[in-house]
Amino acid sequence: MIFSADDLTQIALDLNSGISTEDRFARLLHTIREVIRCDASALLAFQGEQFRPLAIDGLSPDVLGRRFLLADHPRLEIIARAGDVVRFPADSDLPDPYDGLIPNQGDRLKVHSCIGLPLRADDCLIGALTIDGFDDVMFDGFGDEDLRTLSALAAASLNNALLMEQLEKPAAATHSVHDLSPAQPTEMIGESATMLALKKEIEIVSGSGLNVLILGETGVGKELVAQEIHNWSPRQNKPLVYLNCAALPESIAESELFGHVKGAFTGAISNRKGKFESADAGTLFLDEIGELPLLIQAKLLRVLQYGELQRIGDDRVHRVDVRIIAATNKDLKREVVAGHFRADLFHRLSVFPLQVPPLRDREDDIPLLTGFFVEKCRVKLGLSSLRIHSSAMRVLSQYDWPGNVRELEHSIARAAIVARAESGTDTAMIDAHHFDISSSPADRADSAASSYHVHCESLRDATDAFQRLYIENTVKDSLGNWADAARALKVDSGNLHRLAKRLGLKQEKNPQSAPK
């Protein structure tokens, strides 16, 4: 027998004690490691065809941020589809999701003994308990009956935790514990005090129907906050429509928001709905709202006040029911004082402001975010294993991240590509030297700017040289994505492309000669 009566009693007491859910799960895994003497264990929740770690013991901290899609992890898929204890033979050629992620093991990277316990409630899979070790015969003497008892205890505790989590959500949030939606492409990652406070505010405002103003620096994840508010609102099954006001030329802003009728202006070849009508009964997310022209602000205010709009060229009034979530990295109060933003619109939008913390104020979340992005890179690069060295994690934790979470993601993606190239195999380790995050694009441009007066013949030449280097650095930090670079530079994408061509950063396309 694995567990004595005292062991099982202690596990039951731990799982039903008055401490937090996280601590209960941590105690469970600690007891399992003490009794079974395994090298690592993990408790995972199942949602949308993927496993999300809730607690780990003996694994690298970044594992908590990883998300394990069944399609990418055959062992976890087998556990998910099984109805009973799963044992993998030591010579199994299936990759283990924790290979290389058990620290302080020297050259031992591959897990050889693995037990998976599917956790079920009402015949639905809600999670899994995994137990791993390096010894080939570590679990050979353990019977299945005790493991089934352990699985039942863990499943009951996890199910209670999920039910409590659902009860704590706003009444408008009707997601069922056992009827989960497919995995979302994005997720708010973070368990720091500032992020937990933000998540609580999101829960409070989601079901209220109030307009929300999301404040925060570039790259902090304001779009994710907007998505989370919509997902937990009564409008969750209606459209969430996105509009980037910073990339919206003034000449077409009114048409984009309110629509137009055929013939209203040159190029209006058909009737077209605007974003407000597309978002009717749902949510409209206006990103970078501080960039919206004053004339359009006045028309936006009328829609917020009366729920009425007119398409360009149309005398008819259309009624819409739209919840507005706006976001900005500007200080709108200062913009109001400066006359760049309407005070009445500001007060309409800022009924419930949410401040998204910068990454430098949530250092504890860096390992989780790192694990999340590393796993994404592993899948995208087709690697069987992608790990991050402790020295690299120290570098990431000590950096100020002026570009916030977006900069972290791009930095990890670049480092992963370099690490794969150096490895030449399907396994790679991201090390400290793979990162070039000692300065921001502006710092790197500034460091070179001081020498421009020596090499440039005129102010125009110096200006062009500075712009060329600044754009090059920003595009590099955006992994070659010019649309992301335009957003980071706060310029219209079309204008950036034209400027890049003038500066020689992009080649003009030569028109093909007409056939003779």
Joined together, the tokens standing for residue 511 give 């028109």
**Predicted TM-score of the model (pTM):** 0.77
Is 417 a domain residue? yes
CATH code for the domain of 14: 3.30.450.40
Q: Say yes or no: 373 and 456 in one domain.
A: no
Q: Say yes or no: 230 and 309 in one domain.
A: yes
- Looking at the predicted structure, is the pLDDT value of residue 3 above 70? no
Cα–Cα distance, 338 to 316 (Å, whole number): 35
Is 511 a domain residue? no
Q: Is the dihedral of CA 332, 274, 209, 223 positive or negative?
A: negative
Nearest alpha carbon to residue 345 among 354, 360, 332:
332
Q: Say yes or no: 198 and 248 in one domain.
A: yes
Cα dihedral 9/10/16/19 (nearest 10): 170
Q: What is the pLDDT of residue 179?
A: 33
**Which DSSP letter does residue 260 get?**
B
Q: Say yes or no: 14 and 163 in one domain.
A: yes
Question: In this prediction, what percent of the chain has a pLDDT beyond 90?
Answer: 44
Non-local (6+) Cβ contacts of 386 within 8 A are 374, 375, 377, 378, 416, 419, 420, 427, 428, 429, 430
Joined together, the tokens standing for residue 345 give 């619109």
Q: What is the pLDDT of residue 34?
A: 80
- Express each pLDDT in 55-75 by its tens digit: 999 999 999 999 999 999 999
Q: Say yes or no: 372 and 280 in one domain.
A: no
Q: Which residue range(s) make up the domain with 381?
A: 362-434
CATH code for the domain of 453: 1.10.10
Q: Say yes or no: 403 and 347 in one domain.
A: no
CA distances from 211 to 15, 167, 285, 507 (A): 40, 24, 10, 44
- Express each pLDDT in 221-276 by its tens digit: 999 999 999 999 999 999 999 999 888 777 788 888 888 888 777 777 888 888 99
Q: What is the pLDDT of residue 181?
A: 35
Q: Say yes or no: 377 and 445 in one domain.
A: no
Number of Cα atoms under 13 Å in the Cβ half of residue 339: 0
Cα–Cα distance, 129 to 113 (Å, whole number): 14
Is 186 a domain residue? no
Q: Say yes or no: 451 and 401 in one domain.
A: no
Q: Report the Cα 239 to chain-centroid distance in Å.
A: 20
> What three-state secondary structure class fits 114?
strand
Joined together, the tokens standing for residue 109 give 């990277």
Q: Say yes or no: 374 and 346 in one domain.
A: no
264 and 311 in contact (C-beta within 8 Å)?
yes
Domain count along the chain: 4
Cα–Cα distance, 443 to 450 (Å, whole number): 12
Q: Is the dihedral of CA 501, 504, 509, 513 positive or negative?
A: positive
Non-local (6+) Cβ contacts of 202 within 8 A are 225, 228, 229, 232, 354
Residue 43: beta bridge partners? 55, 129
Is 469 a domain residue? yes
Q: What is the pLDDT of residue 106?
A: 62
Q: Say yes or no: 392 and 445 in one domain.
A: no
CATH code for the domain of 244: 3.40.50.300
Q: Determine how β-strand 427-430 pairs with β-strand 385-388.
A: parallel
Q: Say yes or no: 312 and 448 in one domain.
A: no
Residue with tokens 């901290």: 61
Q: Say yes or no: 66 and 125 in one domain.
A: yes
